[in-house]
Amino acid sequence: MKTERPPAKSEQLRRHLADLLVGELAPHERLPTERSLAEEFSVSRLTVRRVLDQLEREGRVYRVQGSGTFVSEPRIHKSVELTSFSEDMRSRGLRPGSLEVSSERIPAGADIGYALQISPSSQVLHIRRVRTADDEPMCLEHSYLPAELVPDDLGPELHGSLYEVLSARYGLTLHRAEQTIKATVLDPDDARALGAPPFSPAFLVQRTGFDARGRAIERADSLYRGDRYSYQLTIYRDPQ
Ligand code: 16G
Protein backbone atom coordinates (compact mmCIF):
# COMPACT_ATOMS: atom_id res chain seq x y z
CA MET A 1 0.00 0.00 0.00
CA LYS A 2 1.28 3.42 -0.92
CA THR A 3 1.31 5.91 1.91
CA GLU A 4 1.67 9.65 1.44
CA ARG A 5 4.77 10.99 3.09
CA PRO A 6 4.05 13.90 5.40
CA PRO A 7 5.46 17.16 4.05
CA ALA A 8 9.00 18.01 5.06
CA LYS A 9 9.27 20.12 8.16
CA SER A 10 10.40 23.15 6.21
CA GLU A 11 7.30 22.77 4.03
CA GLN A 12 5.11 22.54 7.14
CA LEU A 13 6.72 25.73 8.39
CA ARG A 14 6.17 27.45 5.03
CA ARG A 15 2.48 26.49 5.04
CA HIS A 16 2.08 27.60 8.63
CA LEU A 17 3.56 31.01 7.82
CA ALA A 18 1.48 31.31 4.65
CA ASP A 19 -1.65 30.73 6.76
CA LEU A 20 -0.53 33.33 9.26
CA LEU A 21 0.00 35.83 6.45
CA VAL A 22 -3.38 35.38 4.83
CA GLY A 23 -5.50 34.93 7.91
CA GLU A 24 -4.20 35.82 11.28
CA LEU A 25 -1.71 38.62 11.06
CA ALA A 26 -2.51 42.11 9.85
CA PRO A 27 -0.06 44.20 7.76
CA HIS A 28 2.90 45.38 9.86
CA GLU A 29 2.30 42.80 12.59
CA ARG A 30 5.37 40.93 13.72
CA LEU A 31 5.86 37.26 12.89
CA PRO A 32 6.97 34.86 15.64
CA THR A 33 10.72 34.98 16.20
CA GLU A 34 13.09 32.75 14.26
CA ARG A 35 13.97 30.98 17.44
CA SER A 36 10.39 30.15 18.43
CA LEU A 37 9.60 28.94 14.88
CA ALA A 38 12.71 26.75 14.90
CA GLU A 39 11.63 25.19 18.21
CA GLU A 40 7.99 24.75 17.24
CA PHE A 41 8.83 22.99 13.95
CA SER A 42 11.99 21.22 15.16
CA VAL A 43 14.10 22.74 12.41
CA SER A 44 17.33 24.72 12.46
CA ARG A 45 17.39 28.53 12.56
CA LEU A 46 18.99 28.36 9.13
CA THR A 47 15.95 26.55 7.74
CA VAL A 48 13.65 29.17 9.26
CA ARG A 49 15.77 31.92 7.76
CA ARG A 50 15.59 30.33 4.29
CA VAL A 51 11.80 30.11 4.45
CA LEU A 52 11.62 33.74 5.57
CA ASP A 53 14.08 34.76 2.83
CA GLN A 54 11.76 33.25 0.27
CA LEU A 55 8.73 35.10 1.69
CA GLU A 56 10.76 38.30 1.67
CA ARG A 57 11.67 37.79 -2.00
CA GLU A 58 7.98 37.30 -2.76
CA GLY A 59 7.32 40.65 -1.06
CA ARG A 60 5.05 39.07 1.55
CA VAL A 61 7.15 39.99 4.59
CA TYR A 62 9.78 42.59 5.34
CA ARG A 63 12.53 42.61 7.92
CA VAL A 64 13.66 45.33 10.26
CA GLN A 65 17.11 44.75 11.61
CA GLY A 66 17.07 44.16 15.32
CA SER A 67 13.25 44.05 15.48
CA GLY A 68 12.12 41.04 13.50
CA THR A 69 10.05 40.09 10.50
CA PHE A 70 6.76 41.82 9.70
CA VAL A 71 3.81 41.30 7.39
CA SER A 72 3.97 43.42 4.22
CA GLU A 73 1.11 45.60 3.03
CA PRO A 74 -0.98 43.61 0.57
CA ARG A 75 -0.47 44.35 -3.08
CA ILE A 76 -3.41 45.93 -4.78
CA HIS A 77 -4.39 44.01 -7.87
CA LYS A 78 -5.18 46.38 -10.66
CA SER A 79 -7.53 44.75 -13.11
CA VAL A 80 -7.46 45.81 -16.73
CA GLU A 81 -11.12 46.60 -16.93
CA LEU A 82 -11.59 50.21 -17.82
CA THR A 83 -12.04 51.60 -14.34
CA SER A 84 -11.06 54.77 -12.56
CA PHE A 85 -8.65 54.95 -9.67
CA SER A 86 -11.58 55.71 -7.35
CA GLU A 87 -13.53 52.66 -8.51
CA ASP A 88 -10.46 50.46 -8.16
CA MET A 89 -9.85 51.54 -4.61
CA ARG A 90 -13.49 51.33 -3.53
CA SER A 91 -13.81 47.82 -4.91
CA ARG A 92 -10.97 46.89 -2.58
CA GLY A 93 -12.60 48.48 0.43
CA LEU A 94 -10.14 51.39 0.41
CA ARG A 95 -10.95 55.09 0.49
CA PRO A 96 -9.64 56.89 -2.62
CA GLY A 97 -8.20 60.36 -2.32
CA SER A 98 -5.83 62.85 -3.89
CA LEU A 99 -3.00 64.99 -2.57
CA GLU A 100 -0.88 67.75 -4.09
CA VAL A 101 -3.54 68.47 -6.69
CA SER A 102 -2.62 71.06 -9.30
CA SER A 103 -3.87 71.97 -12.75
CA GLU A 104 -2.76 74.26 -15.53
CA ARG A 105 -3.53 74.97 -19.15
CA ILE A 106 -0.63 74.32 -21.47
CA PRO A 107 -0.09 73.68 -25.17
CA ALA A 108 -0.37 69.96 -25.88
CA GLY A 109 3.09 69.59 -27.41
CA ALA A 110 4.00 66.87 -29.87
CA ASP A 111 3.49 63.67 -27.83
CA ILE A 112 0.31 64.59 -25.97
CA GLY A 113 -1.10 66.24 -29.10
CA TYR A 114 -0.44 63.09 -31.10
CA ALA A 115 -2.07 60.88 -28.47
CA LEU A 116 -5.11 63.14 -28.21
CA GLN A 117 -5.32 63.64 -31.98
CA ILE A 118 -5.07 67.41 -31.68
CA SER A 119 -2.54 69.95 -32.88
CA PRO A 120 0.57 70.38 -30.70
CA SER A 121 -0.38 74.05 -30.24
CA SER A 122 -3.90 73.24 -28.94
CA GLN A 123 -4.46 73.78 -25.26
CA VAL A 124 -4.84 70.91 -22.82
CA LEU A 125 -5.72 70.88 -19.15
CA HIS A 126 -2.84 69.21 -17.34
CA ILE A 127 -3.81 67.78 -13.95
CA ARG A 128 -1.25 66.40 -11.53
CA ARG A 129 -2.42 64.37 -8.53
CA VAL A 130 -0.90 62.04 -5.98
CA ARG A 131 -3.57 59.36 -5.65
CA THR A 132 -4.03 57.83 -2.22
CA ALA A 133 -5.72 54.76 -0.78
CA ASP A 134 -6.74 55.22 2.86
CA ASP A 135 -4.50 58.32 2.80
CA GLU A 136 -1.44 56.42 1.66
CA PRO A 137 0.19 57.53 -1.61
CA MET A 138 -0.15 54.87 -4.31
CA CYS A 139 0.15 56.51 -7.64
CA LEU A 140 1.30 59.76 -9.19
CA GLU A 141 -0.96 60.73 -12.02
CA HIS A 142 -0.62 63.28 -14.81
CA SER A 143 -3.76 63.61 -16.91
CA TYR A 144 -4.06 65.70 -20.06
CA LEU A 145 -7.50 66.59 -21.36
CA PRO A 146 -8.27 68.58 -24.53
CA ALA A 147 -9.32 72.08 -23.44
CA GLU A 148 -11.86 72.11 -26.22
CA LEU A 149 -13.75 69.31 -24.48
CA VAL A 150 -13.02 70.49 -20.95
CA PRO A 151 -13.21 74.27 -21.06
CA ASP A 152 -13.29 74.97 -17.28
CA ASP A 153 -10.67 74.72 -14.58
CA LEU A 154 -12.07 71.93 -12.47
CA GLY A 155 -10.56 73.28 -9.23
CA PRO A 156 -11.67 71.62 -6.00
CA GLU A 157 -13.63 68.98 -7.91
CA LEU A 158 -10.31 67.38 -8.78
CA HIS A 159 -10.05 66.08 -5.21
CA GLY A 160 -12.78 63.60 -6.11
CA SER A 161 -13.10 61.37 -9.16
CA LEU A 162 -12.06 62.96 -12.44
CA TYR A 163 -14.13 60.48 -14.45
CA GLU A 164 -17.23 61.32 -12.41
CA VAL A 165 -16.69 65.04 -13.03
CA LEU A 166 -16.14 64.52 -16.76
CA SER A 167 -19.32 62.52 -16.98
CA ALA A 168 -21.48 64.76 -14.77
CA ARG A 169 -20.33 68.10 -16.22
CA TYR A 170 -19.63 67.35 -19.84
CA GLY A 171 -21.26 64.00 -20.54
CA LEU A 172 -17.81 62.60 -21.38
CA THR A 173 -17.55 58.89 -20.61
CA LEU A 174 -14.63 56.65 -21.33
CA HIS A 175 -15.54 53.71 -23.47
CA ARG A 176 -12.18 52.25 -24.49
CA ALA A 177 -8.55 52.88 -23.66
CA GLU A 178 -5.19 51.98 -25.09
CA GLN A 179 -2.65 51.25 -22.38
CA THR A 180 1.06 50.62 -22.24
CA ILE A 181 2.71 49.33 -19.10
CA LYS A 182 6.41 49.92 -18.56
CA ALA A 183 8.75 49.04 -15.74
CA THR A 184 10.68 52.00 -14.39
CA VAL A 185 12.27 53.45 -11.25
CA LEU A 186 11.14 56.48 -9.27
CA ASP A 187 13.22 59.60 -9.73
CA PRO A 188 13.84 61.46 -6.44
CA ASP A 189 10.93 63.95 -6.90
CA ASP A 190 8.41 61.26 -7.77
CA ALA A 191 9.73 59.07 -4.95
CA ARG A 192 9.15 61.90 -2.47
CA ALA A 193 5.60 62.40 -3.70
CA LEU A 194 4.90 58.68 -3.32
CA GLY A 195 6.69 58.31 0.02
CA ALA A 196 8.95 55.61 -1.43
CA PRO A 197 12.74 55.37 -1.61
CA PRO A 198 14.38 57.10 -4.59
CA PHE A 199 15.08 54.74 -7.48
CA SER A 200 12.72 52.08 -6.15
CA PRO A 201 10.79 50.08 -8.78
CA ALA A 202 7.58 51.40 -10.24
CA PHE A 203 5.12 50.78 -13.08
CA LEU A 204 4.35 53.49 -15.54
CA VAL A 205 0.96 53.00 -17.16
CA GLN A 206 0.21 55.27 -20.08
CA ARG A 207 -3.44 55.43 -21.01
CA THR A 208 -5.21 57.10 -23.86
CA GLY A 209 -8.95 56.98 -23.25
CA PHE A 210 -11.61 57.37 -25.94
CA ASP A 211 -15.34 57.93 -25.70
CA ALA A 212 -17.89 55.85 -27.58
CA ARG A 213 -17.62 58.28 -30.51
CA GLY A 214 -13.92 57.55 -30.77
CA ARG A 215 -12.80 60.96 -29.51
CA ALA A 216 -9.61 60.91 -27.45
CA ILE A 217 -10.60 62.35 -24.09
CA GLU A 218 -7.66 61.73 -21.83
CA ARG A 219 -4.01 60.94 -22.08
CA ALA A 220 -2.62 59.95 -18.67
CA ASP A 221 0.64 58.80 -17.14
CA SER A 222 0.01 56.84 -13.95
CA LEU A 223 3.11 55.96 -11.98
CA TYR A 224 2.44 53.23 -9.42
CA ARG A 225 4.64 52.15 -6.56
CA GLY A 226 6.03 48.75 -7.52
CA ASP A 227 5.81 47.43 -3.98
CA ARG A 228 2.08 48.10 -3.68
CA TYR A 229 0.75 47.27 -7.08
CA SER A 230 0.33 44.30 -9.33
CA TYR A 231 -1.54 44.06 -12.60
CA GLN A 232 -4.04 41.28 -13.09
CA LEU A 233 -5.13 40.30 -16.59
CA THR A 234 -7.92 38.00 -17.68
CA ILE A 235 -6.95 36.69 -21.07
CA TYR A 236 -8.96 34.55 -23.46
CA ARG A 237 -7.90 32.14 -26.13
CA ASP A 238 -9.22 33.01 -29.56
CA PRO A 239 -11.61 30.14 -30.44
CA GLN A 240 -10.50 30.22 -34.13
C1 16G B 1 -7.02 55.68 -13.48
C2 16G B 1 -6.51 55.96 -14.89
C3 16G B 1 -6.31 57.43 -15.13
C4 16G B 1 -7.55 58.22 -14.75
C5 16G B 1 -7.98 57.89 -13.35
C6 16G B 1 -9.31 58.54 -13.03
C7 16G B 1 -5.11 53.98 -15.23
C8 16G B 1 -3.79 53.47 -15.66
N9 16G B 1 -5.26 55.30 -15.18
O10 16G B 1 -6.03 55.90 -12.55
O11 16G B 1 -6.04 57.61 -16.50
O12 16G B 1 -7.30 59.61 -14.84
O13 16G B 1 -8.15 56.49 -13.20
O14 16G B 1 -9.60 58.23 -11.69
O15 16G B 1 -5.99 53.20 -14.95
P16 16G B 1 -10.61 59.09 -10.84
O17 16G B 1 -11.92 59.11 -11.57
O18 16G B 1 -10.66 58.38 -9.53
O19 16G B 1 -10.04 60.48 -10.71
| Residue whose CA is at the smallest distance from ligand 1 atom 2 | 84
| Residue whose CA is at the smallest distance from ligand 1 atom 10 | 85
Q: In what order do the strands lie in the sheet with 201-210?
A: 96-107, 123-133, 136-146, 216-225, 201-210, 176-185
* Helices assigned H by DSSP within the chain: 9-19, 34-40, 45-57, 85-91, 109-116, 162-170, 188-194
Please say if the pLDDT value at position 100 is more than 80.
yes
| pLDDT tens per residue across span 35-68 | 999 999 999 999 999 999 998 887 788 888 888 9
Please say if the pLDDT value at position 228 is more than 90.
no
| pLDDT tens per residue across span 185-215 | 999 999 999 999 999 999 999 999 988 778 8
Closest residue by Cα to residue 54 from 39, 44, 32, 69: 69
pLDDT above 90: percentage of residues in the chain: 60
Q: Is the CB of 126 under 6 A from ligand 1?
A: no
pLDDT at 237: 62
Global pTM reads: 0.70
Query: Which of the four pLDDT bands, split at 50, 70 and 90, describes residue 3?
Result: low
Q: Is the CB of 143 under 6 A from ligand 1?
A: yes
pLDDT at 154: 84
